[in-house]
Structure 1
Amino acid sequence: MLNLSVVLEDSARENPEGTAVVLGDLRLPYSMVNTVANQVANLLVSRGIGRGDKVALACPNLPYFPFVYFGILKAGATVVPLNVLLQAREIAYHLEDSGAKALFCFEGTSELPLGERGRAGFDEAAGTEHFFVLPATPAATESALGETLWAALDGMPGEFETAQTSAEDTAVILYTSGTTGRPKGAELSHQNMVVNAMISDEMFPRQQEDAYLATLPLFHSFGQTVIMNAGFRRRATLVLMPRFEPSEALRLMNQENVTLFAGVPTMYWALLTAVRTGAGEVPRSLVTAASGGSALPVEVLKDFSATFGVDILEGYGLSETSPVASFNQIGRPAKAGSIGTPIWGVEMKLVDAEWNEVGDLGEIAIRGHNIMKGYHNRPEATAEVMRDGWFRTGDVARRDEDGYYFIVDRAKDMIIRGGFNVYPREIEEVLMTHPAVSLAAVVGVPDESHGEEVKAYVIRNPGAATSEEELVAWCRETMAAYKYPRIVEFRDSLPMTATGKILKRELR
């Protein structure tokens, strides 16, 4: 018997009055977060949802996220967290592909109309039976979009006997964009998630009172495991920040005495820029800084260390690895530009295309307690990346004489924009549905603020008269905000190999 909700339940029992989450002026103790999660579990069971069922959650970093996440787990169901930037048709796809029985969806704001998109996606997904609105006005019991969480929880008991799930049961399905264009759901067990949270917690030094800034999205594996689950296990306070803004992040760090910050490289670059331009002050309380998502420029690493007096520890992982696989660990020298060494209980090696182990340069393969069960309902895709317990990542790296790994190249042509993985083929497939587009090639181009920007090279159909601006606007309507190309360049031809493959390296 093992259930990931133990990271909340243990802390609620041992530290009921300790502050679990902070959002603006709102401060919620562990006991309350646990009680609302119990109510959510009772609600699900009352609607016929239990062990083995899938429940989707689309919500930014708000208290609703842990309420619902842990409620789903307590009921014995599987959480399917959704990226809040998805469009309606993308939400429908995720609901149908995962077989979700219910969707808890934030009502949204004028800038982020998530509720409308979620409702439209829910209406399109025939198998999803229940839609619960997480209202934008904190205690609202009514919404034009449907039944609100608070109305549904009315009369639900605050006690719940957590479902007896096994260590191998699926706790979370994290969707990752596949190079084939359609996102795949990585099935992560209770054991995968619990062990990764425990190791993430124990890797970082403890303070008398720990506070974590939660600005990495909780729907993403990095924020979920390293911030929320590890933070709750530690009985730390999670300072929620729904949208990263550097000067506000620095203000919150100072106000709430934040001890741990985890972010993607562009966030570190933005924090440095804010301090340099006088838009924020260096927080005195910060002890630990962790980075992942993409390679951190060594200059940023050095500047941050000099300016903030804290070294950034870089790590590496994927949704399929729960996510942490390697880290520059406390007690061992950190190496700039390195993703460190494998964490406890995890092995890494470098392999060639035929899975043969190679010396100092190859594709990273990983084995250990953190490896997913497989891709949901995709045995062929699973077989492509898994062998004898080893998972091949698609990332090329080199290993030095001390066993530290350094990422050299990305999984094929993946673009990492602001910490989000963007797969060109998926964008190309959508672009090709535009009536004016004959052929499209999408690449990442260097960008100061996002690390990489998405650029599309397009050959128009004969006689078609769309402009670059019109095509970008159409993409904005059709794709999630982190995916759509901001730059379009029309070409009469694209460089190709003899077999007709587009030579992307000549376009970058």
Structure 2
Amino acid sequence: LTHRALLANLEQVADVEPPMMHGDDVVLGVLPLFHVYGLNAVLGGVLRHRARLVLVERFDPHETLSLIDDEACSVVPVAPPVFAYWRTEEDLAVHLGAVRLVLSGSAPLSAEAVEWFTAATGIPVHQGYGLTEASPVVTSTLCSSGAKPGSVGAALPGVELRLVDETGHPPEGEDPGEIQVRGANLFSGYWPDGDAGPDDEGWWSTGDVGFLDEDGDLFLVDRLKELVIVSGFNVYPTEVEDVISEVEGVEDVAVIGTDDDETGEAVVAYLLAPGADPATIAEAVREHCAARLARFKRPARIEVVDELPKTVTGKVQKGRLRGIERRRNLGLLE
């Protein structure tokens, strides 16, 4: 990401009406500054508008609410798991009395969570779609003509969206397609050689799938990539698989994401360890991951299996594993 891209996104966000931030706002800074949402969308936005930022060292559901109350925070940018933590908090609306706007980003927030929070507090929740490569904000429901359940909003001023099918052409009818983005906020390519950046016309393929309605509002459908998003943080399955493969006795491993009520998604590891006691090898994997991986990257559950489904070329069929997890979430499996 260049300074040009970061500054461009700050100006694009500043052009949104109604504005996300004013100069007299007090903004909660609970999102980590090593994440682009906290770094540019929050800290950068505060500096751009000369607002006040209240930095929080770590998120605690009750203590953070008390801080919002004490400091009279008016804008509260958070990630979706926060809403789950606050469901059991008493006097939620009282603690948030000075808040005029809650912003949710870094992962999808369910329509049900938005409806519950707004009913409980009377405070509007606006969310958007973004990526690190876009500095990060691409869309916002503040840019929409009206509230639409499931929508992540319309494109920011100065940002263009389009959908393409697998041939690179617009999808037929109302079919979803891969989301492409164009704007001055895009990165220049991946380090170290600038590879896989925007094409010659400035369009960049996100790897996400969605559809646009007649008003230009974006609805996310799925991800082409296998990225797992835990509490708004990116987890690359190959990184987790490489670490688990270091454990003696593990012959093969496949890591996927599964739905989680608190963190949005959770990491699940399926591993093959012939001759090993399942409980012993699972514990060994947990201990090794605890030493080698950040907490949000560690598997929430480990499944020791007799075999992994594979294609004729030997590639693990992760789609079948996701199908198992979907059935498990529906209560069709123990």
- The TM-score normalised by the length of structure 2 is 0.88
Checking the alignment, whether the CA contact within 8 Å between 2:260 and 2:266 is kept in structure 1 is yes
Establish whether residue 448 from structure 1 lines up as the match of residue 228 from structure 2: no
Quote the residue 2:299 is aligned against. Answer: 485
Amino acid at match of 1:247: H
Give the direction of change, closer, same or farther, for the CA distance of 1:217–1:208 in structure 2 (3 Å limit).
closer
Quote the residue 1:311 is aligned against. Answer: 124
Deviation at 1:504, TM superposition (A): 1.8
Give the direction of change, closer, same or farther, for the CA distance of 1:206–1:321 in structure 2 (3 Å limit).
closer
Deviations 1:269-297 (A, max 9, x none): 2223324xx68844111111111111111
Deviation at 1:219, TM superposition (A): 1.4
Establish whether residue 294 from structure 1 lines up as the match of residue 121 from structure 2: no
Give the direction of change, closer, same or farther, for the CA distance of 1:205–1:488 in structure 2 (3 Å limit).
closer
Amino acid at match of 1:258: C
Quote the residue 1:16 is aligned against. Answer: none
The 5 Å alignment of 1:187-336 reads 188-203=1-16, 204=19, 209-275=24-90, 281-329=94-142, 332-336=145-149
Give the direction of change, closer, same or farther, for the CA distance of 1:331–1:432 in structure 2 (3 Å limit).
closer
Deviation at 1:366, TM superposition (A): 0.3
Quote the residue 1:406 is aligned against. Answer: 219
How far apart in 2 are the matches of 1:353 and 1:330? 29
Establish whether residue 355 from structure 1 lines up as the match of residue 168 from structure 2: yes
Quote the residue 2:316 is aligned against. Answer: 502
- The TM-score normalised by the length of structure 1 is 0.59
Establish whether residue 377 from structure 1 lines up as the match of residue 187 from structure 2: no
The 5 Å alignment of 1:143-154 reads none
The partner residue of 2:282 within 445, 459, 468 is: 468
Amino acid at match of 1:483: K
Amino acid at match of 1:428: E
The 5 Å alignment of 1:425-444 reads 425-444=238-257
The secondary structure found in structure 2 opposite 1:374 is coil
How far apart in 1 are the matches of 2:93 and 2:272? 45
Deviation at 1:216, TM superposition (A): 1.0
Deviation at 1:207, TM superposition (A): 5.2
How far apart in 1 are the matches of 2:59 and 2:224? 27
Deviation at 1:396, TM superposition (A): 0.6
Checking the alignment, whether the CA contact within 8 Å between 2:227 and 2:234 is kept in structure 1 is yes
Deviation at 1:205, TM superposition (A): 5.2
Give the direction of change, closer, same or farther, for the CA distance of 1:279–1:400 in structure 2 (3 Å limit).
closer
* Structure 1: runs of 5+ lacking an equivalent: 1-187
Give the direction of change, closer, same or farther, for the CA distance of 1:409–1:205 in structure 2 (3 Å limit).
closer
Deviation at 1:364, TM superposition (A): 0.5
Runs (4+) off by over 6 Å:
none
User: What is the number of equivalent residue pairs in this alignment?
Assistant: 317
Give the direction of change, closer, same or farther, for the CA distance of 1:314–1:205 in structure 2 (3 Å limit).
closer
Percent identity of paired positions between Structure 1 and Structure 2:
35
Deviation at 1:506, TM superposition (A): 2.3
Checking the alignment, whether the CA contact within 8 Å between 2:226 and 2:256 is kept in structure 1 is yes
The secondary structure found in structure 2 opposite 1:329 is helix
Amino acid at match of 1:494: L
Checking the alignment, whether the CA contact within 8 Å between 2:178 and 2:207 is kept in structure 1 is yes
How far apart in 2 are the matches of 1:386 and 1:505? 30
RMSD between aligned residues: 2.1
Quote the residue 2:234 is aligned against. Answer: 421
Give the direction of change, closer, same or farther, for the CA distance of 1:283–1:464 in structure 2 (3 Å limit).
closer
* Structure 2: runs of 5+ lacking an equivalent: 326-334
Give the direction of change, closer, same or farther, for the CA distance of 1:505–1:281 in structure 2 (3 Å limit).
farther
